Structure 1
Amino acid sequence: MASFIPRKGPGGKRVWQAHVRRRGYPAQVKTFDTKAAAEVWARRIKEEIDRGVFVSRAEAENTTLAEALDRYAREVLPTKKSTRPVTYHARNVREV
């Protein structure tokens, strides 16, 4: 089931918050500028749940590039043969 709630966004502008809840799945909530965009998103989430291909994107949407690079350096680089060039590039990208 999806519900759409009007909210006041930045600068007093009206935004729409979409809530999708299905038994056995975590509640999904996202905010949109238009109700139409919220309805499209909610429909897509419900279809993914119905087809059994739903994957929560909450962690990915809240992860910054710097955090992803740090995690890569911590978890993936130790398994590689030569880490020096990749470490160098990751550090440079992170500092930009």
Structure 2
Amino acid sequence: MATFRKRPGPRGATVWQAQIIRRGHERQYKTFDTKATAEAWARQIEGEMDRGVFVSRAEAEATTLREA
């Protein structure tokens, strides 16, 4: 099950951090501008984990164009 935290963001804006912890998978964290988008992302990732098709995108999302 995912948890959501309201956090201070850049320039005083509020952001939402989604966190998914599942046995057998790495912890997944991602930050969003709205709670609705955080919830949608969490539902998608948890669904993939349930179906056994989840592949972590953390490294791909952290790679810059320069590094590629």
So what's the TM-score if we normalise by structure 2?
0.97
So what's the TM-score if we normalise by structure 1?
0.69
Of the two, which has the highest radius of gyration?
A: 1
SS in 2 for 1:61: helix
SS in 2 for 1:67: coil
What is the letter of the counterpart of residue 15 of structure 2?
V
Greater RCO (Cα-Cα under 8 Å, separation 6 or more): 2
Q: Counterpart in 2 of 1:2?
A: 2
Q: Counterpart in 2 of 1:23?
A: 23
Higher helix proportion, which one?
1
Count of residue pairs brought into register by the alignment:
68
CA RMSD of aligned residues (A): 0.5
Matches within 5 A, 1:37-76: 37-68=37-68
Q: Deviations over 1:42-64 (max 9, x none)?
A: 00000000000000001000001
What is the letter of the counterpart of residue 51 of structure 1?
R
Q: How far apart are residue 33 of structure 1 and its match?
A: 0.3
Q: How far apart are residue 35 of structure 1 and its match?
A: 0.2
Q: How far apart are residue 34 of structure 1 and its match?
A: 0.3
Q: 2:23 and 2:54 mapped to 1: Cα distance?
A: 13
Q: How far apart are residue 65 of structure 1 and its match?
A: 1.3
Q: Percent identity?
A: 68
Extract unaligned runs of 5+ from structure 1: 69-96
Following TM superposition, the consecutive aligned residue runs of length 4 or more in structure 1 with deviations greater than 6 angstroms are none
